[in-house]
Amino acid sequence: MKLTVRRADERGHADHGWLESYHTFSFASYHDPRHLGFRSLRVINQDRVAPGGGFPSHPHQEMEIFSYVLEGVLAHQDSLGNRRELLPGQIQLMSAGRGVTHSEFNPSASQPLHFLQIWIQPGTRGLPPAYTEWQPQPGTEADAQVLVISGDGRAGSATLRQDADIYRVRLGAGGTLTYPIRPGRGVWFQMITGAIMAQGVNLAAGDAGSTEDSGSLVLTAGEPAEALLFDLG
């Protein structure tokens, strides 16, 4: 199995004062024709928002957008009437469909906000916008593999409009996960914290590995680690 590596220190970077962001794929003023996305996956931004900072209300169309909170509190408002505050470990997913506006900001006056914002192209266009969330279930904190987003909403996952399964991966030091990749699928593995060896390649926080080969992807943690695994059609 061939694993293509995207190193954290090779990502695009933007510092706006209130926002520091690292771009895995081309985004805004960062453009790299070698890194435009992976299958339907178009954006992985690692965002740190200063206290009181945030993204003012702005529009989106025809994109599945989700945020995974890592530290702090994420406040979300949208034109569908949703007003939510999400805590670390929680995910909100907005299907923009024909069009929606939303804002995201850090409501704290003292604590920073750290989250991943991820965009996936939908499999069907022209649908009405929608909003769902994923909340971790008690007793799953240490599970090696938890389905957080899927195309059919199974196992309590949030639902998106694409042939995609997205898993939260958590491994203790020395822990191993073997993930079967079916023929015709592609997998993107995005590190969040810790260190993992994937197919003999060491991956650290912010690194990513991808493959479109079928077979068994073997992940072994050198230290406690968290990541997201995208299984894409």
Report which residue type is found at 194.
G
Query: Greatest CA span in the chain, whole angstroms?
Result: 49
DSSP secondary-structure letter at 2? Answer: -
198-209 pLDDT, tens digit per residue, is 999 999 999 999
A 10 A CB-CB count for 177 gives 19
Query: What's the pLDDT at 128?
Result: 98
**Domain annotation for the chain: domains and CATH numbers:** 4-232 (2.60.120.10)
Block means of pLDDT (10 residues each) for the chain, 233 residues, are 97 97 97 97 98 96 98 97 97 97 97 98 97 93 96 95 98 98 98 97 98 98 98 98
Length of the chain: 233
Tell me, yes or no, if the pTM score tops 0.85.
Answer: yes
Predicted local confidence at residue 68, as pLDDT: 98
**Distance between CA atoms of residues 212 and 230, nearest Å:** 12
pLDDT at position 99 is 98
The answer to whether the CB of 46 falls within 8 A of the CB of 75 is: no
